[in-house]
Chains A and B, each alone.
Chain A
């Protein structure tokens, strides 16, 4: 009965490859997010997405793109992976209402070689 789940848990890949990370939430939430956590534990928002709008953190390279097949899923696709993309990626979800609590997934540890 996991609330927010992500697959895979670990992802090791070569530079230049394209990869996707999947996220699913069963909380009935309207809004989903992707965060990147670097080696110093700094957690940074990448995207916020609901059925009305996609908000992109301006610092995120356009090699990163969120794709939402339905309200319960928000996948993260990464093109042309670079060494600096190595990090832990967290998916989160919340209600759309301002101030709603965000619930986080367990994270996907991406290592780019």
Chain B
């Protein structure tokens, strides 16, 4: 079993839908949680970054962390075709040399 699990998808939604992307993890020492977006043949780019539990909102994106359940989510409101990409969750322990552990990514397709 991998440390971080993520449904690979693909997840196909119509434009304007609310998208929910999720990751589960097994390492209770993870303290920092990130979501990266990766377009085809490009490098990952950071979308959201949260520390410990709670919610964080940035425009159409909301990140949620539930440490008690070892579960994190990314919500995308009013999804756009330009949101079509692979979304990778990543997490890190407090003292781990900044080394991230990634999920396998969920491929999202938003259809016009």
Residues of A near any B CB (own CB < 8 A): 4, 31, 33, 40-45, 48, 53, 55, 57, 90, 92, 94, 96, 98-107, 109
Residue B74 interfacial (CB < 8 Å): no
Complex interface: stretch among B17-25, B64-72, B86-94: B86-94
Name the A residues within 8 Å of B34 (CB-CB): 101
* Known A98-B94, A107-B43: A55·B99 in contact at CB below 8 Å: yes
* Known A99-B32, A101-B49, A105-B43: A43·B97 in contact at CB below 8 Å: no
Counting chain B residues whose Cβ lies within 8 A of the other chain, the interface size class is 20 to 34
Name the B residues within 8 Å of A4 (CB-CB): 43
Q: Which of A40, A104, A109 has the most CB of B within 10 A?
A: A104
Residues of B near any A CB (own CB < 8 A): 8, 32, 34, 36, 38, 41-46, 49, 51, 86, 88, 90, 92, 94-95, 97-102, 104-105, 107
Name the A residues within 8 Å of B105 (CB-CB): 41-43
Name the B residues within 8 Å of A41 (CB-CB): 8, 38, 86, 88, 104-105, 107
A48 and B43 within 8 A (CB): no
In the assembled complex, the CB of A92 is this many whole angstroms from the nearest CB of chain B, namely: 8
What are the 3 tightest A-B residue pairs by CB atom distance, in nearest-first order?
A: A104-B43, A43-B102, A41-B105
Q: Which residue of A lies closest to B107 (CB)?
A: A41
